[in-house]
Amino acid sequence: MKHSRRLDQIPPYLFAQIDAKIEAAKAKGFDIISLGIGDPDKPTIPAVVERMHKAIDNPKNHDYPPYDGTVEFKEASAKWMKKRFNVEVDAKTEILANIGSKEAIAHVFFAFVDEGDYTLVPDPGYPVYKNATILAGGTSYSMPLTKDNKFLPDFDKIPVDIAQKSKLMFLNYPNNPTGAVCDLEFLKKAVDFCKKYDILLCYDNAYCEMTYDGYVAPSVLQVEGAKDVAIEFYSHSKSYNMTGWRVGFVAGNKDAIKALGTIKNNIDSGVFKAIQEAASEAYNAPKDQIDALNKMYKERKVVMEEGLKELGWDVEPSKATFYIWIPVPKGFTSEEFATLLLEKAHVVVPPGNGYGTCGEGFIRIAITKPVDVLKEALKRMKDAGISYNMTKELASSL
């Protein structure tokens, strides 16, 4: 039995590797603190759970759901877009419900990428952008996200011949893994670039509600004329602590939505109708509940940032997400330093190169643990002699 050649091009999935390392360390008896995966540690917002209890008892929700989403969920999503971003979208033709945004992100490549086509993907970035390009038979072109450019891609550095062969571009702000943010001026540049080269702009807005210090994340659809070339991916996972529920939607250009829906119709099914009911309720969550979540993450963020500063890191406070992206000490690779943290401090973090070539030299810390656990992780690092100014020689003696 031989699998397809394209599978040989897919690296092991980063988070599956992290899970394996955690289990191996636990088998040795270590008490592991995992700061690896962006999975909220608090329960789903109560009103959503209450709505789900009612919805699941309704026999009308037990049959096959519509592939593109229930009318109620799509209309609720359209109303939320209007309320949150002041963006008008047609619930019938410009919104598609999805089994979490990961499904839709992977499917869009099959809807638009043919053999020989290019995609423009951020590096570092969510691994699915590059891997789905490979599975669709295309070639990804990395747009470097560097600290010097505030982790924003420089569109002027994309070669013209690559742009002309590109079918879609992915952007993701607030950003995973760097925590970087952008403004509407940047998004307008992206829209203009994609219009110039007839590229579908795919905007991953999964972290738009997880922001701090007065920063409000924009929608690409707020840019005038964006719907000519853009679609936006939204997920309930992070905003409402619903990672396991697997629900979200895509909004924007109706032709792109239709193409994406065709792939969905032929590959999977719709979201369980009871979940769509509960997800619709999430949009009505009291603002103070969302604010409380962000207040909690900010407290954790400050604890981790201040603790890292004490260990020698020059940390620039982030304005969004629950990720902290920091460089590894000089002389270490990302994997070497992540391994050191695991073996000496029993703290798990993903190495930056798991997010792309330009992620080499960094690690990502997810602040998805309570403050006391974060403080314990920092204490373990300090007790083990791990700091930004350490050398490999010192590490070998620990």
Which strand (E) or helix (H) includes residue 197? helix 184-197
Residue 316: how many other CB atoms lie within 10 Å: 14
Task: Identify the CATH number of the domain in which residue 269 sits.
Answer: 3.40.640.10
CA distances to 112, 129, 230 from 98, in Å: 18, 17, 17
pLDDT value at 392 more than 80: no
**Per-residue model confidence as pLDDT tens digits over 205-252:** 999 999 999 999 999 999 999 999 999 999 999 999 999 999 999 999
Say whether both 120 and 170 belong to one domain.
yes
Please indicate, yes or no, whether residues 204 and 94 belong to a single structural domain of this protein: yes
Q: Does 228 share its domain with 347?
A: no
Q: What is the mean pLDDT of residues 21-31?
A: 78
CATH number at residue 314: 3.90.1150.10
Report in angstroms the alpha-carbon separations of 10 from 2, 210, 349. Answer: 15, 31, 21
Beta strands in 162-204 (DSSP E): 166-172, 200-204
| Max Cα–Cα distance, the chain, nearest Å | 66
Q: Does position 395 have pLDDT exceeding 70, yes or no?
A: no
Query: pLDDT tens digits, residue range 282-324?
Result: 999 888 888 899 999 999 999 999 999 999 999 989 999 999 9
CA distance 364 to 353: 10
Q: What local confidence, expressed as pLDDT, does residue 314 receive?
A: 94
347 and 325 together in one domain? yes
Average pLDDT, the chain: 93
Same domain, 54 and 130: yes
Among the candidates 225, 249, 282, a domain finishes at: 282
Question: Would you give the DSSP letter of residue 322?
Answer: S
Containing structural domain, residue 258: 46-282
Q: Name the pLDDT band for 14 (thresholds 50, 70, 90).
A: low
Q: Is the pLDDT of residue 23 over 90?
A: no
Q: So what's the pLDDT on residue 13?
A: 65
Q: Identify whether residues 107 and 163 lie together within a single domain.
A: yes
pLDDT band of residue 15 (cuts 50, 70, 90) is: low
- Looking at the structure, do residues 95 and 185 belong to the same domain, yes or no? yes
pLDDT tens-digit profile of 88-123? Answer: 999 999 999 999 999 999 999 999 999 999 999 999
Q: What is the mean pLDDT of residues 59-70?
A: 95
Clarify whether residues 220 and 364 are in a common domain: no
* Banded pLDDT at 11 (limits 50, 70, 90): confident
Looking up tokens 């996972």 gives 237
Secondary structure (3-state) at 181: coil
As given in the structure block, the two tokens for residue 56 are 């699941």
The dihedral sign for the CA sequence 239, 315, 312, 357: positive
Same domain? For 53 and 105 the reply is yes
* Residue 394 neighbours by CB distance under 10 Å: 13
Please report the pLDDT score of residue 10 as a whole number: 77
Share of the chain above pLDDT 70, in %: 97
In this structure, the answer to whether residues 35 and 50 fall within a common structural domain is no
Amino acid (1-letter code) at residue 307: G
Give the end of a domain, one of 282, 309, 340: 282
Residue 397 reports pLDDT greater than 90: no
If one counts the domains in the chain, the total is 2
- C-alpha to C-alpha distance for 193 and 181, rounded to whole angstroms: 19
- For 329-339, the pLDDT digits (tens) are 999 999 999 99
Instruction: Please indicate, yes or no, whether residues 225 and 249 belong to a single structural domain of this protein.
Output: yes
Q: pLDDT confidence of 327, banded at 50, 70, 90?
A: very high
- Can you tell me the distance from the alpha carbon of 337 to that of 395, in angstroms, rounded to the nearest whole number? 9
Mean of the pLDDT values across residues 57-82? 96
- In this structure, are 263 and 393 located in the same domain? no
Query: Per residue in 149-202, pLDDT tens?
Result: 999 999 999 999 999 999 999 999 999 999 999 999 999 999 999 999 999 999
* pLDDT score for 398: 64
- Listed in sequence order, the residues at least 6 apart from 56 whose beta carbon sits closer than 8 Å to its beta carbon are 274
251 bridge partner residues: 95, 232
Q: Does the structure show a pLDDT above 70 at 394? A: no
Q: Which residues pair with 348 in a beta bridge?
A: 34
